[in-house]
Amino acid sequence: MTIVNGLDESKALTGRDLGRSDWLEITQERVNQFADATGDHQWIHVDVERARGGPFGATIAHGYLTLSLVIPLLTAMLEIRGTTMSVNYGLDKVRFPHPVRVGSKIRLAATVAEAAEVAGDGVQMLIDLTVEIDGEPKPACAARAVLRHYF
């Protein structure tokens, strides 16, 4: 885990490889809960029997579920101390190159592409994210997160 304190140490993260998170198994229960929360009950996510004969051979996680897991995985990799508030400012270039089959394990690889001071005693970080799937050559998700931390 990378731990930084305050604005100056946060700005010094530009170019830092944060490494990889621990593996997280994607369960059908998690996929079903996400389907309930979002109203997206498409059969490729929730109908186990039908999905066995579908294009992926099993149910798959929603792309946005995979993306939503970036926050807890990243939080386990990077701790910024001394903040008064942190906000998700947006995402750039989000792609889902490979489906995540239920039962698969994913992990996050992250690099701070840029960390620059912004008004209000803050730092804006551009973090390149890759959600890897255990045993798969293609990632589940690739994106650039734009996060702001205020001190």
Q: Around 96, how many Cα atoms within 13 Å sit in the side-chain half-sphere?
A: 12
Give the SS3 label for residue 109: strand
Radius of gyration for the chain, computed over Cα atoms and rounded to the nearest angstrom: 17
Average model confidence (pLDDT) across the chain: 97
Which residues is 150 bridged to in the sheet?
Answer: 85, 122
d(CA 70, CA 149) in angstroms, rounded, equals: 17
54 DSSP assignment: S
Q: Around 35, how many Cα atoms within 13 Å sit in the side-chain half-sphere?
A: 17
Summarize pLDDT for 99-121 with one digit per residue, the tens: 999 999 999 999 999 999 999 99
For residue 75, the surrounding DSSP H or E stretch is: helix 70-75
* Dihedral angle of Cα 82, 124, 145, 111, to the nearest 10 degrees: -80
State the Cα angle at 148 between 146 and 151, rounded to 5°: 165
Summarize pLDDT for 121-136 with one digit per residue, the tens: 999 999 999 999 999 9
Joined together, the tokens standing for residue 132 give 């890897």
Domains and CATH numbers, the chain: 2-150 (3.10.129.10)
Mean pLDDT of the region 66-71: 97
Say if strands 78-81 and 2-5 run parallel, antiparallel, or are unpaired: parallel
